[in-house]
Amino acid sequence: MSHIDYYFTVLSPWAYFGGHRFTEIAGKHGVSVTYKPVDIGQLFGRTGGQLPKDRHPSRMEYRMQELKRWSKALDMPINFTPAHWPTNGAPASYAVIAAQSAGTGDVGALVNALMRSIWVDEKDIADDAVIKACLSEAGFDPSLADSGLLMGAETYATNTDDAVNAGVFGSPFYVCDDGEKFWGQDRLDLLDAHLSA
């Protein structure tokens, strides 16, 4: 069975756009997935990227055009200026890490629920109640949000190190076990074709 390390930040609108399609592609090909949330600020700082707040206005204007285009193309709702973005992505990332370790629910559904909370539902995914609701929705014990915080913090840092070492520099980023890498939800068709080859 093929395997993909999926590097992402829970704060990414592009990961939100790609979430369900990636889940479908992985399922279609019987690919196992390790969800690896990363500290995007650290990742950008170590690989030459910039957080949106630090980018030139021209880049941010183009980013907004692309968000609107992709929302329409994918027929996916999105709030282009969500009330709770950016926020602290660490608590939600720790919950994803704890959930994956527990293995009792659907990690992909959890990740997608967290992203929908930001980009559609105007919720703050740094809020414990929001995280617990997403855990429940995805079939996990909501108390996972309260446990394994130290392990979560350590794994979050390790994921970011792993990302840098794997050549990852953005979100979403898909690294196949044969070394092929795909950056961005707009490369999912290419990932699908690669897995079909």
Mean pLDDT to the nearest integer, 13-20 = 98
Burial class of residue 197, CB neighbours in 10 A (0-12, 13-18, 19+): exposed
Other Cβ atoms closer than 10 A to 195: 19
Mean pLDDT to the nearest integer, 48-77 = 97
Cα dist from 16 to 63, 68, 197, whole Å: 15, 13, 26
Give per-residue pLDDT as tens, 135-160. 999 999 999 999 878 889 999 999 99
Q: How many domains does the chain have?
A: 1
What pLDDT, on a 0 to 100 scale, did the predictor assign at position 76? 98
Segment (H or E) for 4: strand 3-8
Domain region containing 9: 3-196
What pLDDT, on a 0 to 100 scale, did the predictor assign at position 40? 97
Mean of per-residue pLDDT scores for the chain? 96
Mean pLDDT to the nearest integer, 84-94 = 96
Alpha helix stretches (DSSP H) within the chain: 13-29, 40-47, 57-74, 90-102, 107-119, 128-137, 149-166, 188-196
Query: Residue 176 — pLDDT band, cuts 50, 70, 90?
Result: very high
User: Do 151 and 1 touch, CB atoms closer than 8 A?
Assistant: no
Which pTM does this prediction carry?
A: 0.96
Question: What is the CATH classification number for the domain harbouring 30?
Answer: 3.40.30.10
How far apart (Å, rounded) are the C-alpha atoms in residues 31 and 26? 5
